[in-house]
Amino acid sequence: MNTIEIDGFLSSEVQHYVSECRGRYVAWFELIQMINRFGQSLLGEVRIDPANFQQSTAGLLYTRVLCHAQGAVLLIERCMPTQGEVLCRASLEALFGLLAVVERIDTAELLIKGDRHHQLDLLKATLRRHEGLDADAQRKASVKLQDVKDNLEREPSPKMTTRCLAERGGLLALYDSAYKILSLPVHSNLRDLERQLGLDGAGNPTSIAWGPNLEGLDGLLMLVADTLTRAVTAMCGFFNLGHQEDLQAIRGSYAPLAASVVKAM
């Protein structure tokens, strides 16, 4: 029998939890569906000049926000909050990049130049794997590593960290709150893992919780809705798409739902 106990989240029984989750948080799912459909429709309206780094980078980051947010919803509705948190954090990273590119014209170029720092890290990691490389591969990697170092010396550029992008996009407060908290489940931090422990009256561990969890998912759904709203607002403004009435309707629907979640915290 294909049950949760036998197959975990790969069980077809999970569909029962999807229905129950969508029924419990129906208002949030309806709002997210509205924002997501609007967000998808923008993909057909945006006209990107491929030679314009700012436009093309904004478009790439926007699609990443959409996809990560959609993935988060798929996990949340299956009552997998921890896994949903991982994709919520990923969607925030893409959002920070999107807003940074939209707000600061030099961000796209800095991201391209800053990629050399990532190349350095990858090449160094490759050269540490001596047993997996023959002499020729090591030589080529060493030459490439020196080329990148020389290039950075000739034309220095900062390493564009997630925090830097959040600051450039005016989202530092979101970075210092939601993003920081969501970093715990991403890295399987012990403090986060403690959520799964069942404790007795004396505070001693008695069990490890697993499986579908329906509780407290409105906070995650609020974050998804907020992320999508920020992303579609940025795209409408940057590409002069208008849609002020649509954006106002989204904000008007979001505000009371968000207020109820914050009040319950």
**Residue 202 and residue 48: Cα distance in Å, rounded?**
61
41 and 57 in a single domain? The answer is yes
* Residue pLDDT, tens place only, 202-216: 777 777 878 899 999
Q: What is the pLDDT of residue 254?
A: 97
CB atoms within 10 A of CB 264: 9
Mean pLDDT of 242-246: 96
Query: Is 2 domain-assigned?
Result: no
Mean pLDDT of 159-177: 95
Asked if the model's pLDDT at residue 23 lies above 70, the reply is yes
Query: Is 221 domain-assigned?
Result: yes
β-bridge mates for residue 197, sequence order:
208
Alpha-carbon 144 to chain mean position: 31
232 and 153 in a single domain? The answer is no
258 and 180 in a single domain? The answer is yes
* Residue pLDDT, tens place only, 36-93: 999 999 999 999 998 899 999 999 999 999 999 999 999 999 999 999 999 999 999 9
Percent of the chain with pLDDT over 70: 98
Nearby residues of 188 by Cβ (< 8 Å), 6 or more positions away: none
92 and 188 in a single domain? The answer is yes
Contact 48, 59 (CB under 8 A): yes
Query: Is 240 domain-assigned?
Result: yes
Query: Is 1 domain-assigned?
Result: no
* Residue pLDDT, tens place only, 111-144: 988 888 888 888 888 888 766 677 787 888 888 8
Q: Total structural domains in the chain?
A: 2
173 and 246 in a single domain? The answer is yes
Q: What is the pLDDT of residue 143?
A: 82
Q: What is the pLDDT of residue 78?
A: 97
**Residue 158 and residue 160: Cα distance in Å, rounded?**
6
180 and 254 in a single domain? The answer is yes
Asked if the model's pLDDT at residue 101 lies above 90, the reply is yes
Average pLDDT, the chain: 91
Query: Is 211 domain-assigned?
Result: yes
Mean pLDDT of 93-115: 93
CB atoms within 10 A of CB 182: 22
97 and 188 in a single domain? The answer is yes
Structure tokens belonging to residue 99: 């807003």
Query: Is 239 domain-assigned?
Result: yes
136 and 253 in a single domain? The answer is no
> Which residue range is the domain that position 124 belongs to?
112-160
Q: What is the pLDDT of residue 126?
A: 81
- The model scores a pTM over 0.75: yes
Q: Choose the weakest-confidence range: 8-12, 122-126, 252-256.
A: 122-126
Query: Is 92 domain-assigned?
Result: yes
Asked if the model's pLDDT at residue 190 lies above 90, the reply is no
Q: What is the pLDDT of residue 103?
A: 96
218 and 133 in a single domain? The answer is no
92 and 132 in a single domain? The answer is no
Q: What is the pLDDT of residue 191?
A: 78
124 and 94 in a single domain? The answer is no
Query: Is 232 domain-assigned?
Result: yes
20 pLDDT tier (thresholds 50, 70, 90): very high
85 and 188 in a single domain? The answer is yes
